[in-house]
Amino acid sequence: MTPNDFCSIIERIAPKSLALDYDNVGLLICPEKNEIKKVLVALDLTVPVAEEAVSGNYDLVLTHHPIFFDAVKSISPETYETAAAYKLIRHGIGHYAAHTNLDACIGGVNDVLCELFLLSDVRPIPPENLGRIGLLPKPMPFSDFCILCEKILNVKGRFCGDPKRIVRSIGMIGGAGGSDVQAAFDAGCDVLLTGEMKHNQALLSEHLGLNCCVMGHYETEFPVLKPLISRLQNENNDVQYVLTHSGRAPLRCL
């Protein structure tokens, strides 16, 4: 598979046109060789992920978060912003980022969250259409939904809103969805499940009466990786797609 072949495949899944304007997506580091046999898949291009790519003889690292989100004017193996990029280039390995386009696409970050919770009637949350809203199989008290969240995502969360309220329509915005509180409310969500929420965004949720489950940036984006690998693998069995064993949530409960 050439790099161009890979781009065609991933962009059929997560078209670049779905990415938000400010984003930096696509083939951000070209691999040196024109043949790609092994692709490492992770949420973040950290130094440990880059080292795993080197030691495992990968040709490409596919991540959700882009390297070079801000443009750079120098490259060093020491600096946080460029260390992993340095290591990849040093070994001829490429880097592809599918970020907000992977949030927004069919079968992407937020659709996978919906599937985990068995939501039905799933549709995008306007106006950005990154997130999703769908219905639980049956209504339940918010306190029960919180327990379900921690069980399904296997992490302790933080929650906002009345535990006794019966909820059914759930908004799913993996990652930093706190800026979409108003959008989720306007779309009719009883609950917004997301990864990160700032203090004043939580106060807005309380004011609106939108219940929220804040489960961690990593924990709400990680679930997309395995289904994504399956879809990519299905396209082409000569290429090996591997989920990183170096990735983990940077912020963890005790």
Return residues touching its own copies (CB under 8 A): 24, 26-30, 32, 44, 46-47, 65, 68-69, 71-78, 80, 83, 85-86, 89-90, 92, 143, 146-147, 150, 156-160, 175-176, 195-200, 202-208, 212, 214, 216-218, 250-254
In the complex, least distance from residue 107 CB atom to its own copies, rounded to whole angstroms: 22
Q: Which is nearer to its own copies, 4 or 234 (CB)?
A: 4
Q: What is the CA radius of gyration of the chain?
A: 19
Q: Which is nearer to its own copies, 75 or 106 (CB)?
A: 75
Supply 254's token pair: 């005790």
* CB neighbour burial string for 20-47, b if at least 16 within 10 angstroms, e if fewer: eeebbbbbbbebeeeebeebbbbbbbbe
In the complex, least distance from residue 99 CB atom to its own copies, rounded to whole angstroms: 12
243 torsion bin: left (phi>0), alpha (psi -120 to 50), beta (else): beta
Q: Which strand (E) or helix (H) includes residue 183? A: helix 181-186
In the complex, least distance from residue 53 CB atom to its own copies, rounded to whole angstroms: 15
Q: Which is nearer to its own copies, 73 or 138 (CB)?
A: 73
Among residues 181, 171, 252, the alpha carbon closest in space to that of 218 is found at 252
Cβ atoms of 65 and 103 closer than 8 Å = no
Q: Which is nearer to its own copies, 14 or 220 (CB)?
A: 220
In the complex, least distance from residue 32 CB atom to its own copies, rounded to whole angstroms: 7
In the complex, least distance from residue 162 CB atom to its own copies, rounded to whole angstroms: 12
Q: Which strand (E) or helix (H) includes residue 124? A: strand 120-124
Q: Which is nearer to its own copies, 30 or 116 (CB)?
A: 30
